[in-house]
Amino acid sequence: MFYNQDMEVDMNIDPELKAMNAAYEAIKDLEEEAIGRVVNWLIGKFSIGRPKSLANVIPPSATSDKTNDNLVNAFNSIAELFGKANYKTESDKVLLVAAYLQIKEGKEDLTGREINRALNHLGHAVKNITNTISQLINRKPSLMIQTRKEGKSQQAQKKYKVTIEGLKAASTMVENSEAVSGEQI
């Protein structure tokens, strides 16, 4: 809280400072990933120009090189990754493809349409991509997050990002298939 010299709350402070103080108070006790989701939601909600990456919210040290290596260096295409991975559900398929697109193709944000198009090319299109992505968002910890929404209607284009935990889960699907087959990537 902002105080004047008499230690009383100063109600005449700049409205912008009041908003910053309220935002800080609301998120200061959250975990780092939760803070990132809140900040990204605020950016999307108010259609603010998005930073190039979440580097200022999620530290680079939180991702492992092994996770990225399994998803990027070992596969030349989504089809190769898909053929090697040990997936069981539609959510697993969506997560694998989203992680690949995010890492291999360097996409900051993904749309459900992009993900489902890639799945469709593999012969594994998902009937309701939005619901499947929502399942990944609602898992604890979240495997994907919605970073913004373009437009105001319910059908507005939503943008998503695979979380660090989502990348780890996708990598585990590849690692588990190696353990089953006994091969190394």
Residue 42 lies in a domain: no
Residue by residue, pLDDT tens for the chain (185 residues) are 454 454 445 556 678 778 888 888 888 888 887 887 787 777 666 655 544 433 333 434 444 455 555 565 677 888 888 888 888 999 999 999 999 999 888 888 999 999 999 999 999 989 999 999 999 999 989 999 999 888 777 777 899 999 999 988 988 888 766 554 444 44
Q: Is 26 within a domain?
A: no
How many domains does the structure of the chain reveal?
1
Lookup: tokens for 110: 């993904």
**Length in residues, the chain:** 185
Contacts 24+ apart (CB under 8 A), 43-49: 43/147, 43/148, 44/146, 44/147, 44/148, 44/149, 44/159, 45/149, 47/148, 47/150
Whole-number Å distance between alpha carbons of 173 and 110: 21
Judge whether 106 lies within some domain.
Answer: yes
Looking only at the bridges linking them, the beta strands covering 157-162 and 144-150 are: antiparallel
Domain that holds residue 165: 55-181
Q: How far apart are CA 17 and CA 32, in angstroms?
A: 23
Asked, for residue 108, whether it belongs to a domain, the answer is yes
Q: Give a yes or no: residue 158 inside a domain.
A: yes
In this structure, what CATH number is given to the domain that contains residue 101? 1.10.10
